[in-house]
Amino acid sequence: MDLKGRDFLTLLDYTPAEIGYLLDLAAELKAKKKAGVLHDVLRGKNVALIFEKTSTRTRCSFEVAAHDLGMGTTYLDPSGSQIGKKESIADTAQVLGGMFDGIEYRGYGQAIVEELARYAPVPVWNGLTNEFHPTQILADFLTLREQFGRLEGLKFVYMGDARYNMGNSLMIGCAKMGLHFTACAPKAYWPEAQLVEKCRAIAAETGATIDFSEDVDAVAGADAVYTDVWVSMGEPEEVWAQRIADLAPYQVNAALMAKAGPQAVFMHCLPAYHDHKTQVGRTMGEKFGRDAMEVTDEVFTGGQSVVFREAENRMHTIKAVMAATLGAEF
């Protein structure tokens, strides 16, 4: 399948066959990596990594993946780029596009990465925006394929705030690949209606289903139980209090996993506030009298958790995206 020259901005832009191809390629490249088989077929190429929001997994995934493919990387953090400050997005895209073979962007509005892609003469990859996080979903789906041997027909339940990049992108991915998606949260935390309708139209063609519930019993029989952080440190404290009060009943704990059943895996895009061993986790825990937020330490570290395999698979799937869109031949 030829994906050379394509941007990777949202899974809405990719067909189920193309997504499946990227997952197949990721599995192939993971096997090469584990076997110690060099696959540095893109030597001489260079990629720019723009990070307006910092990250551990996304940065390391892009850098290791690029280096494995033989490419050089240049990391631009918020202080290392003039994008949107002294130089327009359009100008930045053309400047970087003249020097690099691909551009990754992780930051704020989806409109920014879309504009970068519009003006850059090279592939642009979305490392995360407020609205979408497509590389994470590839990692999640590779993990599920490894666990269950398939994607189609799996029951996937997302617990918590489904309004933003993770809820949106998981819903799109499930619709594309034939999974049965349920977002379990108070109605105020469900995705916007327009995207839901778009996903239901896709689901009608793939055999997927898109559902929503305020009842935690919706998790019964789930193959995958997924959650994400409830609040971020950039939000005001009054938001923390409301969000935690609203979402506390939807915490992933041992009782909830028991409802799902022994076949279920626990998934999280990380970082997670499952204890007090981080500054953020300790601050929120002490302020609100909680040992954990969206997931308990028992579940996070337990036998059903696949979170660290997901994290590793970020690198393998990102490598597949770069390789495919840059025309690598193995």
- The answer to the question of residue 145 being in a domain is no
pLDDT tens digits for range 165-208: 999 999 999 999 999 999 999 999 999 999 999 999 999 999 99
Tens-digit pLDDT profile for residues 105-115: 999 999 999 99
Reduce the DSSP state of residue 316 to 3 states and report it.
helix
pLDDT digits (tens, 9 = 90+) for 7-56: 999 999 999 999 999 999 999 999 999 999 999 999 999 999 999 999 99
**What residues act catalytically?**
106, 133, 136, 228, 269, 314
Domain that holds residue 165: 155-222+224-262+265-303
291 with 171, same domain?
A: yes
**Domain tally for the chain?**
2
Torsions phi, psi for 126 (to 5 deg): -85, 110
Same domain flag for 110 and 210: no
CATH number of the domain enclosing 63:
3.40.50.1370
| Residues 165, 281 within the same domain | yes
Identify any residues that bridge with 295 across adjacent strands, giving them in sequence order: 252
Cis amide linkage into residue 262, ω under 30° from 0: no
pLDDT tens-digit map of 198-219: 999 999 999 999 999 999 999 9
Assess if residue 296 is contained within a domain: yes
The reply to whether 57 and 187 lie within a common domain is no
Task: Classify residue 285: in a domain, yes or no.
Answer: yes
Which H helix or E strand runs over 246?
Answer: helix 237-247
Q: Note whether 169 and 207 are same-domain residues.
A: yes
How does pLDDT run across 233-260, given as a tens digit for each residue?
667 878 889 999 999 999 999 999 999 9
Instruction: Identify whether the C-beta of residue 280 lies closer than 8 Å to the C-beta of residue 233.
Output: yes
Amino acid at 117: A
* Whole-angstrom distance, CA of residue 323 vs CA of residue 31: 15
Given 3-state DSSP classes, what are the helix, strand and coil percentages for the chain, each rounded to the nearest 5?
50, 15, 35
Tell me which H or E stretch contains 68. helix 57-68
Q: Does 230 reside within a domain?
A: yes
